[in-house]
Amino acid sequence: MDPQNTNTSSEAKMLLSHAKTLRLHTGNLVNRSHMKNKCPCSPSEELQDCIQATLSDWFSTTKTPSKDFPDTLDCSIPQETDAITPEERDELRVSVKLFLCESLESSIRDAVEMVCQTLAVSQLDSVIIAPPWPLESDSQSLAHLQPAWEVLEALVRSQKIAAIGTSDLDKDLLEQLYNWAQVKPSSNQFNLASCCVMPPELTAFAKEFDIQLLTHNDPKELMSAATFQEAVQEGTQDLNTADWRPEWVLRYSIIVKCRGIIKAKGYLVSARKASP
């Protein structure tokens, strides 16, 4: 084994063994050469590759502190971070989809704050929420969605977010949310993998209440705990990661408004170590 790799693995073990929280930013995937050269893959495979590559790059350049190991490990590649300057902000649209791995409303605020700091913006143009639905049943309910939506509404009122949307709601649940919510959903994503065309009743309701219908190909569970642990193991050279669980995954896109092209795209990930 390469002595440098052995040293990196040792440092990774020391840092991760002391940390309680892991925050990871993949940087702008549009500029990262290892992603450009890869064949198109599923969103889950892309995220797994990004976590692995980011950790590998980060640990290869990180030095172990001589004392005071941090509780929170911030893993990002500074040169890959694409912050937005004030001069270009009006020309860009920042869109976010937030995948909650756990039903923690605090995760929404944490994720929004982290992406705003990372991209150097004070407000996100749109946020779509993908909460974890109950595993024991495929049925969705308004009661399950309400706590997360109330947090999003508060972030709209504080001008952290301009518009909020949902993912994979059928017509009945979208109508229930619309009638209950103070801040109405501006969009709803629909997975065409479940049906080749939009249901007519969903299309009619969205048109009547000016809700934009978008399509996506994200799986129901973007990243399981096992998949996350596997990505971290590969990125840190077979480190034991059984105690780590993802809290949330945020995917952002920065689009040039007048040209409709993607200037930047990346993931932010937050994970925590389970209490012993």
Closest-CA residue to 98 (of 124, 75, 122, 71): 124
Would you mind telling me the total number of residues written for the chain in this entry? 276
Rounded Cα gap, residues 157 and 162, in angstroms:
9
Are the beta carbons of 185 and 177 closer than 8 angstroms? yes
Amino acid (one-letter) located at 221: E
Fold category of 21-62+74-273 in CATH: TIM Barrel (3.20.20)
| pLDDT confidence of residue 3 | 43
| pLDDT confidence of residue 139 | 63
Instruction: State the DSSP string of 176-204.
Output: HHHHH-SS--SEEEEETTS-SS--HHHHH
Closest-CA residue to 174 (of 204, 150, 218, 151): 204
Give SS3 for 212: strand
Rounded Cα gap, residues 146 and 220, in angstroms:
19
Phi and psi, residue 137, nearest 5°: -150, 145
Amino acid (one-letter) located at 78: P
Burial of 274 (0-12, 13-18, 19+ CB in 10 A): exposed
Residue 162 token pair: 């301009």
The alpha carbon of 4 is separated from its chain's Cα centroid by a whole number of angstroms, namely 32
Amino acid (one-letter) located at 244: W
Domain boundaries, the chain: 21-62+74-273
Q: What is the pTM of this model?
A: 0.90
Rounded Cα gap, residues 54 and 236, in angstroms:
10
Q: Give the pLDDT of the chain (276 residues) as one tens digit per residue.
A: 344 444 555 666 778 778 899 999 998 888 765 555 565 578 999 999 999 989 888 877 766 665 677 888 888 876 666 789 999 999 999 999 999 998 788 899 999 999 999 999 999 999 999 988 765 555 678 998 999 999 999 999 999 999 999 999 999 999 999 999 999 999 999 987 766 778 899 999 999 999 999 999 998 889 999 999 999 888 887 677 888 999 999 999 999 998 889 999 999 999 999 876
The alpha carbon of 22 is separated from its chain's Cα centroid by a whole number of angstroms, namely 14
The alpha carbon of 102 is separated from its chain's Cα centroid by a whole number of angstroms, namely 13
